[in-house]
A and B are shown apart, each in its own frame.
Chain A
Amino acid sequence: MESNNGTTIIVMSGEMDKVMAAFNIAIGAAAMGKETNMFFTFWGLKAIQKGNFTGRSFFGRMMGLMNRGGINRIGPSQFNFWGVGRWMFKQMMKNHHITPLEELRKMAMDLGVKLMPCQMSMEVMEIRLEDLIDGVEESCGVATMLERADRSKQTLFI
């Protein structure tokens, strides 16, 4: 499906609330029949990581330890309080029957949203394709993103 009416979302943030907004928008766009692409770069990569420790070099491993990925491990951008806020947010979401992030991600993929990891960020942070969840696209660069953005009516940077 190639259209000129798509939606492209660049996910730079790796925080629970922002990632949630990104997936919500992507799901809505896909449900409206738009070709939807999400590019995950820098901290955003955490949302599509399996959650294992990453890195090869000393700095890379340190980063993998202190900035461990995985969609269930990320906390909100405010009121995180070393994980207490994350727990609280999850409880509140459950109480209000809000779909958890992991399910939102699966729903997006089921609706045909393409999840595209940024090669350069993966390089810098020493994250390999094997560290990412199944079903993501091949890693790509800025030209791919811009080409998709060219075919989109909406391009968002989150």
Chain B
Amino acid sequence: MTEELKTVATIDLKGLVCPIPIVKVSQAIKQVKVGEVIEAFATDPGVLGDIPAWCKTSGNELVKMERVDKVFRFVVRRLV
């Protein structure tokens, strides 16, 4: 699938370390409607494990997680 999802918000987590990225994501997801999608950029390698875990526990969907150079980009859809 090449079609890119429409994200309603972008958050910058670059330079932030555990546990701040998941705090910011949990706050940002509350600002959007259920079904909407947000994207975030982080530099902490901890997000590779933490964001999927956060999604699983909080009941949201991890749509995408990719690495662009030294930056991790991930896309989350609000489900609850």
Residues of A within 8 A of B (CB): 24, 27-28, 31-34, 96-99, 107, 111
Interface centre among B23, B54, B59 (most CB of A within 10 A): B23
Question: Among the listed A32, A96, A97, A99, which residue makes an inter-chain contact with B22, where contact means beta carbons less than 8 Å apart?
Answer: A32
- With A and B bound together, what is the CA distance between A123 and B15 in angstroms? 43
- Inter-subunit contact A31/B16 (CB<8 Å): no
Question: For the complex, is B58 an interface residue (Cβ under 8 Å from A)?
Answer: yes
- Inter-subunit contact B19/A28 (CB<8 Å): yes
Q: 28 pairs across A/B with beta carbons < 8 Å?
A: A24-B18, A24-B19, A27-B19, A27-B23, A28-B18, A28-B19, A28-B22, A31-B23, A31-B25, A31-B26, A31-B54, A32-B22, A32-B26, A32-B54, A32-B57, A32-B58, A33-B26, A33-B57, A33-B58, A33-B59, A96-B17, A97-B16, A97-B17, A98-B17, A99-B17, A99-B20, A107-B23, A111-B23
- With A and B bound together, what is the CA distance between A107 and B15 in angstroms? 18
- With A and B bound together, what is the CA distance between A111 and B58 in angstroms? 14
Q: Which residue of the partner chain B has the closest CB to A104?
A: B19
- With A and B bound together, what is the CA distance between A157 and B52 in angstroms? 26
Residues of B within 8 A of A (CB): 15-20, 22-23, 25-26, 54, 57-59
> Inside 8 A of A31's CB, which chain B residues have their CB?
19, 22-23, 25-26, 54, 58
> Inside 8 A of B59's CB, which chain A residues have their CB?
33
Interface centre among B19, B54, B57 (most CB of A within 10 A): B19
> Inside 8 A of A27's CB, which chain B residues have their CB?
19, 23
- With A and B bound together, what is the CA distance between A77 and B19 in angstroms? 21
> Inside 8 A of B26's CB, which chain A residues have their CB?
31-33
Interface centre among A27, A32, A34, A99 (most CB of B within 10 A): A32
A-B interface, 4 closest residue pairs, ranked by CB to CB distance from nearest: A31-B26, A32-B57, A28-B19, A31-B22
- With A and B bound together, what is the CA distance between A96 and B17 in angstroms? 9
- With A and B bound together, what is the CA distance between A51 and B22 in angstroms? 30
Query: Within the complex, what minimum Cβ distance (angstroms) separates B21 from chain A?
Result: 9
Q: Which residue of the partner chain A has the closest CB to B25?
A: A31
Query: Within the complex, what minimum Cβ distance (angstroms) separates B50 from chain A?
Result: 8
- With A and B bound together, what is the CA distance between A32 and B58 in angstroms? 5
